[in-house]
Structure 1
Amino acid sequence: MATWDLSGTQHHVLICNGGSCLRKQGDEVTLALREEVALHGAENLIHTTRTRCNGRCEDACVVTVYPEGIWYKDIGPESARLLVREHLLQGRPLYERMAYSYRNERFVPTGSGAKGVPRH
């Protein structure tokens, strides 16, 4: 994990480890995501940070990806691994897990759970 020199970093991933997310496998999500990053040798491209509560407890476990500003919901260990392979390494976000994305200078509901809001 690149911690001192972030100049090659392409994504910053925030993994919620607040109470609700921990009850929904937050620790396992953190470990799975970091293991998948290491498996692909992408530690210098993807920086991960374990956070406390992000305030979206109903979406637990929450994972946020920057610079895109995508907030994912209902992430488990397997979807965390998929997130690394698809979104972070291939540039294909997991639309079915998206809760919000940053568009037009604000966060908007997105993904399968958003009513009346088109997917990207």
Structure 2
Amino acid sequence: MATWDLSQTKHHVLFCNGSSCNKWGAEDVTQAFRHEISKRNLDDLIHTTRTRCNGRCDDRCVAVVYPSGNWYKGLVSEDASTFVNSLVLNRDLTGKVSHTYTGDGFTREEGISKGISKDLEKVKKVSKQY
């Protein structure tokens, strides 16, 4: 396994590769973004991680960027260049932000589904099964 030197990293992008996102091309999105980052020699600046489901299946394909905390929706491979530009320039990718971290929590952009609330008792019961 690799152990990356993250000392120069400015952005960490978590690409959802859960089942819903994968059905909509998440692996191609992840690879296109990684290719764009490498092509521009930005691997030290932008670190990527492929995740399992991030719980926003209606927004597929999803990515979360830290330290900004922004959640992005509807990503396609063709967004790679524009997305990387937005990271380099420390700007949001217009039209693709679904949730923005405010310091007090997340605000949902207009037109984005609220989603379901977590039933903590149900989660505890399901967790005990594993």
TM-score, normalized by length of structure 2?
Answer: 0.80
Q: Does 1:113 align with 2:111?
A: yes
Q: Equivalent pairs: percent with the same residue?
A: 48
List structure 1 runs of 4+ shifted beyond 3 angstroms: none
Report if aligned partners of 1:3, 1:47 keep a CA contact under 8 Å in 2: no
**Rg (Cα) greater in structure:** 2
- Corresponding residue for residue 88 of structure 2: 89
The structural deviation recorded for 1:105 is 2.0
How far apart in 1 are the matches of 2:88 and 2:6? Answer: 17
Q: What SS does the aligned partner of 1:65 have? A: strand
Q: What SS does the aligned partner of 2:99 have? A: strand
How far apart in 2 are the matches of 1:41 and 1:3? Answer: 19
Report if aligned partners of 1:19, 1:53 keep a CA contact under 8 Å in 2: yes
Matches for 1:28-107 after TM superposition, within 5 Å: 28-85=28-85, 87-107=86-106
Q: What SS does the aligned partner of 2:95 have? A: helix
The count of aligned residue pairs is: 112
Letter in 2 for 1:37: I
How far apart in 2 are the matches of 1:61 and 1:3? Answer: 27
The structural deviation recorded for 1:3 is 4.5
How far apart in 1 are the matches of 2:87 and 2:103? Answer: 22
Q: What SS does the aligned partner of 1:96 have? A: coil
How far apart in 1 are the matches of 2:81 and 2:111? Answer: 21
Distance of aligned partners of 1:33 and 1:3 in 2 relative to their CA distance in 1, 3 Å threshold: farther
Q: What SS does the aligned partner of 1:49 have? A: strand
Where structure 1 has 5 or more consecutive residues not aligned to the other structure, the ranges are: 115-120
How far apart in 1 are the matches of 2:20 and 2:58? Answer: 8
Where structure 2 has 5 or more consecutive residues not aligned to the other structure, the ranges are: 113-130
